[in-house]
Structure 1
Amino acid sequence: MLGSSDQPLIFELADWLETPVGQYVRNWEQQKISAMVANAFGYHAVQLGLPQWNLLEANRIPHKIFTHQSLEGVSSSGGTLSLYAEPEYLPFESQSVDLLILPHVLECSNNPHLVLREAERVLVPEGRLVISGFNPWSLWGAHGRLPALDPVTPVPAPLQVSLPRLKDWFKLLALEIDRGHFGCYAPPCFSQRWLDRWSFMESAGDRWWPVCGAAYVVAAVKRVAAVRLVGPAWKEKDKKRVRRAAVAASPRRSSPW
């Protein structure tokens, strides 16, 4: 995907993350993703794109890999490896990655569904996938659709992947949402001064309009079909007991996730 300066959109996003509003999004995502990956275990953890932003630092998996979409900065040290890779064509064997993080990768790709298919391919069964992105139905997304106003983010609103769309893709790929968060509720603004003034919106947004956050983070697990053992039929009293338990169960509070 090319930006206005004939460079991949992910590079424009990397520069934007150094601005005050970019740091606002970056700090929120770092906090949420760190909590999501802290207890993920396995042998290999991979972060696709934005290698200068370490989203794996809270994770204890021994072998960590960061991919670049440029040959610059490719190196290795200790248990950390950085390499060149296109997110649509990952250089990993099928079912070889335990934890995979995609920070804004889907919306910066020409073929986000192909990227997601590749992610599902390389994940081990019960492997964890963490995705962050901009919410096109937020105030920032609406702001970016108005032609007379400068967009807040370098990712145009039509390229941003909404949560319902992401859920549909997950269903096709046998990925099950484990948890998710919306955040960054401040109105469209560019200076640190105004971001500080609107800081009270974080707690208010989580309570009153959670689906309108400017950014989201979602974690999913790769499920595999379980083998079903055929055994003797349940007794009738066992069936009645299960029905009574189901009726007595209290309903869960509705959630956007």
Structure 2
Amino acid sequence: MLSTQPDPLDAASFETMALSQYIARQEIPLYAQTVADVFGFHALQIGWPQHDLLEHSRMPYKHSLQLTASGGASLLCESEFLPFAEQSVDLVCMPHVLEQCADPQQTLREAFRVLVPEGTLILTSITPLSALGLRARVGGFKQAGQFKRLFTAWRIRDWLNVLGFEVVYRDSLVHALPVNDPLWLARQSCLERLGQHSLGLTGGVYFLVAKKRVLNMRLLKPEWKKTSLNHALQVRKGQSSIQKQAQKELECANVESTMDRNVR
């Protein structure tokens, strides 16, 4: 007898869900605003190949790394083993990677390894202690999103601090009730406005920006008070020692020529 139970949602159908699209619309503006202020040469996006989070980045080289075999990315590998050299990337974006990977701590270590000193890491993840977190732990939404485990923002901040990151910005979003209906999601705009004043207590997704700090590193700054010109070449008031010596030689030559004329 054939089973009438629907098959679990795959990644493609997950992106077409109204709730998934609502989460993406909330996160993409934050990524666009943040990456526009990060400067460097190489930017890396891990996951979410259907959304170009580096569109507004000013870096000349942009790389998209995909975790599953489907179209839309330039690289395919595991987030725990990135195919980049040490200290070669200036910006790493990880949208919902930690809750989908097998070893989130190793993923953060890899991000720290490939980032240059003072490099930027941007990540988003679902808050487990929220209505969206409860929805992501049960049912077809969990299977489609491949959410293996959810972590609180405090735990991720502790891991980042141990590795050597410094969290410089934190925000929360998706304060609406996680219903998979576009009409009901649009009606909850008042909850989004109220959630901005709840100090992140009602947000279903947290947004973190961290900087890679390196100990015993000194940034070389220009010494504006010290001049880089040689003192002998600087223009001074009055005559220099070389000018005085030349003046004395000229005076001596004039005296000798006068004495020669008198003798003759």
| TM-score, normalised relative to structure 2 | 0.73
d(CA) in 2 for partners of 1:157 and 1:72?
A: 18
Distance (Å, rounded) in 1 between the aligned partners of 2:198 and 2:211: 28
List alignment gaps of at least 5 residues for structure 1.
Answer: 76-81, 229-257
- Inter-partner Cα distance in structure 1 for 2:205 and 2:7: 24
Report the equivalent of 1:121.
113
> What pairs with 1:89-238 in structure 2 (closer than 5 Å)?
89-143=81-135, 150=139, 154-155=144-145, 159-208=149-198, 210-227=200-217
Partner of 2:21: 23
CA distance in 2, matches of 1:140, 1:123: 31
The CA deviation string for residues 133-188 of structure 1, in whole angstroms up to 9 with x for no partner, is: 1111112223556x7xx465545777112101101101110100011210111112
Give the letter for the 1:208 counterpart.
S
User: Bigger radius of gyration, 1 or 2?
Assistant: 2
Q: Deviations over 1:103-152 (max 9, x none)?
A: 1111101101110100000000000000011111112223556x7xx465
The structure-2 alpha-carbon separation of the partners of 1:160 and 1:5, relative to structure 1 and needing over 3 Å to count, comes to farther
Distance 1:189 1:70 in 2: 27
What SS class does the counterpart of residue 211 from structure 1 fall into? Answer: coil
Structure 1 residues 152 and 185: alpha-carbon distance in aligned structure 2, compared to 1, 3 A threshold: farther
Identify if the C-alpha distance between structure 1 residues 70 and 193 changes in structure 2 by more than 3 Å, giving closer, same or farther. Answer: closer
* Alpha-carbon distance change, 157 to 110 in structure 1, aligned in 2, over 3 angstroms: closer
Match of 1:51 among 41, 49, 52: 49
**Cα pair 1:17 1:26 within 8 Å, conserved:** no
How many residues align? The count is 212
Alignment match of 2:61 (pick from 56, 60, 63) = 63
Q: Partners in 1 of 2:130 and 2:8 — Cα distance?
A: 27
Change (3 A) 1:160 1:126: same
Aligned CA RMSD, in angstroms, stands at 2.5
**Equivalent residue, structure 2, for 1:246:** none
Residue 140 and residue 227 in structure 1: after superposition, are their counterparts in 2 closer, same or farther (change >3 A)?
closer
Answer yes or no: is 1:84 the counterpart of 2:76: yes
C-alpha deviation, 1:212, in angstroms: 2.2
Question: What is the CA–CA distance in structure 2 between the aligned matches of 1:5 and 1:43, rounded to whole Å?
Answer: 44
Could you list the runs of 5+ residues in structure 2 that have no partner in the other structure?
1-5, 219-264
Deviations 1:12-51 (A, max 9, x none): 3x54232211111001100111111111111100001121
Q: Which runs of 4+ in 1 moved over 3 A?
A: 4-7, 70-75, 142-145, 150-158
CA distance in 1 between partners of 2:66 and 2:167 (Å)? 27
The offset of 1:84, in angstroms, is 1.5
